[in-house]
Amino acid sequence: MKGQWDVKLLLLEGPTDISFFAPLLKKVYGFREAPKDLHDKIPLGKNFENPQSSPLSRPICLVKDNQAVVMFHVGGKDRLSKALKLVISSLHIWEEHFRPNLIGVARDIDTEHDVVNWARNVLSSFNPVERDGALVVNDVEVVPFGIGSVEINNPNVYEKKELELLLTALAEKESTLSQFERSLNQLKEDAQRRLKPKDVMHVLAIAKDYDGDSMSGLYRKFVEKLINEKPELIEGLLRESGLKEFLDRITG
Amino acid sequence: MKGQWDVKLLLLEGPTDISFFAPLLKKVYGFREAPKDLHDKIPLGKNFENPQSSPLSRPICLVKDNQAVVMFHVGGKDRLSKALKLVISSLHIWEEHFRPNLIGVARDIDTEHDVVNWARNVLSSFNPVERDGALVVNDVEVVPFGIGSVEINNPNVYEKKELELLLTALAEKESTLSQFERSLNQLKEDAQRRLKPKDVMHVLAIAKDYDGDSMSGLYRKFVEKLINEKPELIEGLLRESGLKEFLDRITG
Report the CATH number at residue B173: 1.10.3490.10
Q: Are residues B15 and B106 in the same domain?
A: yes
Predicted complex ipTM: 0.91
CATH number of the domain residue B94 falls in: 3.40.50.10620
Residue-range definition of the domain harbouring residue A64 = 6-147
Interface test with A, best of B157, B163, B183 (most A CBs within 10 A): B183
Phi, psi for A60 (deg, rounded to 5): -120, 125
| Chain A residue with Cα closest to B49 | A49
What is the C-alpha to C-alpha distance for residues A109 and A147, in angstroms, rounded to an integer?
Answer: 5
What is the C-alpha to C-alpha distance for residues B116 and B127, in angstroms, rounded to an integer?
Answer: 14
Q: Are residues A69 and A172 in the same domain?
A: no
Contact B206 A216 (CB under 8 A): no
State the total domains in chain A.
Answer: 2
Chain B positions touching A190 (Cβ under 8 A) are 179-180, 182-183, 207
| Chain A residue with Cα closest to B186 | A183
Which of these, B150, B133, B143, lies nearest to B240 by C-alpha position? Answer: B150
What is the C-alpha to C-alpha distance for residues B59 and B42, in angstroms, rounded to an integer?
Answer: 8
- pLDDT digit of tens for each residue in chain B (252 aa)? 568 999 999 999 998 999 999 999 999 999 999 998 888 888 876 543 444 455 677 789 999 999 999 999 888 888 899 999 999 998 999 999 999 999 999 999 988 889 999 999 999 999 999 998 899 998 899 999 999 999 998 999 999 999 999 999 999 999 998 999 999 999 999 999 999 999 999 999 999 999 999 999 999 999 999 999 999 999 999 999 999 999 999 998
Chain A positions touching B180 (Cβ under 8 A) are 187, 190-191
The residue from B118, B147, B176 where one domain ends is B147
What is the C-alpha to C-alpha distance for residues A127 and A228, in angstroms, rounded to an integer?
Answer: 44
Confidence (pLDDT) at A51: 44
| Bridge pairing between strands A134-137 and A32-33 | unpaired
| Chain A residue with Cα closest to B192 | A207
Cβ A137 vs Cβ A43: under 8 Å: no
Q: Are residues A132 and A217 in the same domain?
A: no
Number of inter-chain CB pairs under 8 A, A vs B: 71
Residue A222: Cβ-neighbour burial (10 angstroms; 0-12, 13-18, 19+): buried
Q: Compute the nearest-CA separation of B198 from chain A (Å).
A: 7
3-state DSSP call for residue A60?
strand
Contact B198 A211 (CB under 8 A): yes
DSSP bridge pairs for B108: B147
The residue from A88, A119, A147 where one domain ends is A147
Cβ B99 vs Cβ B43: under 8 Å: no
Q: Are residues A131 and A188 in the same domain?
A: no
Which of these, B242, B244, B251, B250, lies nearest to B115 by C-alpha position? Answer: B242
Q: Are residues A14 and A81 in the same domain?
A: yes
What is the C-alpha to C-alpha distance for residues A161 and A108, in angstroms, rounded to an integer?
Answer: 6
Q: Is A105 a domain residue?
A: yes
